Amino acid sequence: MGWTDPRCLFLVPMLALSLSLAAQAGTAPAPAPPAATPKASTPTAPALRPGEGLAIAGPDLEVHAYGAAAQEQPMGDLAQIVWLRLEGEEWAARDVQFKCTGTMGAFHCLLPKGHGRLNLKKAIQESCQLAFLGWILDSAQYWRHEYGEGAARARLVDVFAPFLGRRLKAGENLPEFGLEWVGAGDLLRSSPEALLKWLLDPAQSELLYRCRRLMLDFLTETYQTEAWWIKTGTAPVPGEAGATSAWALGSNDAYTVVLHLPKGTGKTEALARFQAIMAIPVKAKKK
């Protein structure tokens, strides 16, 4: 049974939903009925909880949106994916390194004790905002030299425009980069549906491949062509200090999925919900 079979993708969550509904109602789960074979063109809607938003695209690249998929949210750690689009190739080529001690000047990492030594792969997997900010500040210096302020700003805005709305302060120069560019605040916003459409745009053609290489270990990446990679992240909730919502973005090459969980969730829930909704078997050795 292949996990890329569209029937698996939508049928398994549907069965999970009927079982969980039966459990909630306090009735004994009925014996599973013989599995119907839904037409691939009319997928069953996945079982979402209130406030969740999900966007899925399969091999035909058509985006299916469910729940709160159109609702715009602060991007949180998924902003790092947009940086991979702009500078990922450069950073991978330079094999950038960073030592996260938990603070960098006035900036604090979400992990107070710090992430330790990171390369690009570890930074994207562990969502170290300080590492990204450090590399961005380095790159910004280089762009000023290489392109000049105006062209550097245009290059930045060209990639980030869909996520900035009208929130970038007017000006001719590069903005001052802070944590709001890598996961904090609500400067960068998107919805599951909008982010998925952006990812599937031919302008981003290399990006999912780049994410796959960074998110999977070498053996999995090389030999398990249908392996899922899932990037999770938290995002702040505007106006509520300390509150978070959570994102999960993943792909197994055939399917690409963006999930947003409502207020009161974190990375662990985002991973678990993504795996449950997409019926991905959970590996025993997951940290």
Position 115 contacts Zn ion (CB under 5 A): yes
Position 214 contacts Zn ion (CB under 5 A): no
Closest distance to Zn ion from the beta carbon of 103 (Å): 9
Position 130 contacts Zn ion (CB under 5 A): yes
The residue among 124 and 246 lying less far from Zn ion, judged by its C-beta, is: 124
CB 215 within 8 A of CB 88: no
Closest distance to Zn ion from the beta carbon of 100 (Å): 3
The residue among 139 and 275 lying less far from Zn ion, judged by its C-beta, is: 139
Position 133 contacts Zn ion (CB under 5 A): no
- Taking CB under 5 A as the criterion, the residue among 128, 207, 248, 271 binding Zn ion is 128
The residue among 63 and 128 lying less far from Zn ion, judged by its C-beta, is: 128
Closest distance to Zn ion from the beta carbon of 123 (Å): 8
Position 267 contacts Zn ion (CB under 5 A): no
Residue 213: CA count within 13 A, CB half-sphere = 10
The residue among 100 and 271 lying less far from Zn ion, judged by its C-beta, is: 100
- Token readout for 72 is 């715009």
The residue among 113 and 145 lying less far from Zn ion, judged by its C-beta, is: 113
Q: Per CB under 5 A, which region of 26-34, 102-110, 176-184, 252-260 contacts Zn ion? A: 102-110
Closest distance to Zn ion from the beta carbon of 235 (Å): 17
Closest distance to Zn ion from the beta carbon of 253 (Å): 29
Position 109 contacts Zn ion (CB under 5 A): yes
| Size of residue set near Zn ion by CB under 5 A | 5
3-state SS of the chain is CCCCCHHHHHHHHHHHHHHHHHHHCCCCCCCCCCCCCCCCCCCCCCCCCCCCEEEEECCCCCEEEEECCCCCEECHHHHHHHHHHHHHHHHHHHCCEEEECCEECCEECCCCCCCEEEEHHHHHHHCCHHHHHHHHHHHHHHHHHHHCHHHHHHHHHHHHHHHHCCCCCCCCCCCCCCHHHCCCCCCCEECHHHHHHHHHCHHHCCHHHHHHHHHCCHHHHHHCCCCCEEEEEEEEECCEEEEEEEEEEEECCCCEEEEEECCCCCHHHHHHHHHHHCCCCCCCCCC
Closest distance to Zn ion from the beta carbon of 98 (Å): 8
Closest distance to Zn ion from the beta carbon of 212 (Å): 23
Residues that bind Zn ion (CB under 5 A): 100, 109, 115, 128, 130
